[in-house]
Structure 1
Amino acid sequence: MVEPKIKMNTIWYKNAKGDGRIQSDNLKTKIAIPVPKGGSGEGAEPQQLLISSAVACFTMTLAYMLDRKKMPVTGFFMDTEGTVSQGGHPAIAHHPHVVLTSDATKEDVAMVEELIVQADKDCHIGQLLKKAGVPVDTQGKVSIESGEDVTSNYIEEHGLDW
């Protein structure tokens, strides 16, 4: 089977202090060289793009698994921390939090905890990064809905603009 091609278009404006754009079917983002490296810093830098790929892969893998197992999920959110050492070596730590409906059972919670671990193992980007020596750690949390909208609270606490 032939894998579908992913086509992207890139444009760069000016010199190193300029910025660029990457666009594909479902992606459009601004890129820039970081300020410490002489750039404008007015766009995503390579490490952010790399880490965002790992985030997207883990998120979609987990969402797919939760759906396939018909888990009573109201939603989930995740913090991811990426660090880059002096030598330029990245490390990634995901902290997903899955919220289940109020009628979820202990078995549901246990299953979701297992799925978080499995999603880490099945995420192709995460596995590729691990093979390249990048530490990717995942520590998840599962909670049961308590009448409080924890997802909206998360968005508000983090000042996210969706």
Structure 2
Amino acid sequence: MANQKINMNTVWFKDAKGEGRIKSDNLQTQIAIPAPKGGSGDGAEPQQLLISSAVACYTMTLAYMLDKSKVPVSGFFMDTEGDVAPGDQLSITHRPHVVLKSDATKDHVNLVENLVLKAEENCHIGQLLIKAGVPVATQGTVSIDNEDDLTSNYIEENGFEW
């Protein structure tokens, strides 16, 4: 496999209370020093960016594994909690909820329960964090769609803009 180059551009305005921007092909976000550390807090801070990398990797890995397994997935959503203890010790817990279509079987549910755990083992970012001493845990839920459209409800409840 050939090396992959990822180019990013960054700009910073003003002093520590200022803000910056990071941009690459498919990413653009505002960054700032957290207010408790003397910054404005008006953007993503490094720990949020690190956790978001773990979230994106886990999500895409699980989506790929679900697709390859051919289970009847309606959708999935996830809450992730990052805990920063004194001394900047980070831990991450993913809580995915996979919703299967109404024709899913108990075998499908069992397979997805296993895939929810295996996704972390196959997520490169999560594995890098674990090697660096960051505890990463997964506590998944699998349910069968009962016409409640749980994924759309989650989107609405959490204010996602699509």
TM-score (norm 1): 0.98
Give the deviation of 1:156 after TM superposition: 2.2
Q: Does 1:22 align with 2:39?
A: no
- Number of aligned positions between the proteins: 162
1:125-157: per-residue Cα shift (whole Å, max 9, x none)?
Answer: 000000000000001000000011111211222
The CA deviation string for residues 33-72 of structure 1, in whole angstroms up to 9 with x for no partner, is: 0000000000000000000000000000000000001110
1:158: how far off? 2.3
Amino acid at match of 2:126: G
Q: Identity rate of aligned residues, in percent?
A: 69
Aligned to 2:89: 89
Corresponding residue SS for 2:43: coil
Counterpart Cα distance in 2 of 1:7 and 1:157: 35
* Pair 1:136 & 2:136 matched: yes
**CA–CA separation in structure 1 for the residues paired with 2:154 and 2:23:** 29
Distance in 1 separating the partners of 2:35 and 2:66 = 40
TM-score if structure 2 supplies the norm length? 0.98
Q: Stretches of 4+ moved more than 2 A in 1?
A: 156-162
What secondary structure is seen at the aligned counterpart in 1 of 2:82?
strand
**How far apart are 1:89 and its partner, in Å?**
1.1
- Structural mapping, 1:69-88, within 5 Å: 69-88=69-88
Q: Kindly provide the amino acid, as one letter, of the partner of residue 73 in structure 1.
A: V
Computed over aligned residues only, the root mean square deviation of the Cα atoms, in angstroms, reads 0.8
Report the counterpart of residue 150 of structure 1 in structure 2.
Answer: 150
Q: Which residue of 2 aligns with 1:49?
A: 49
Residues 10-49 of structure 1, C-alpha deviations (whole Å, 9 max, x = no match): 0000000000000000000000000000000000000000
Q: Secondary structure at the match of 1:148?
A: coil
What is aligned with 1:68?
68
State the one-letter code of the partner of 1:53: S
Distance 1:94 1:84 in 2: 15
- The letter of the residue matching 1:130 is I
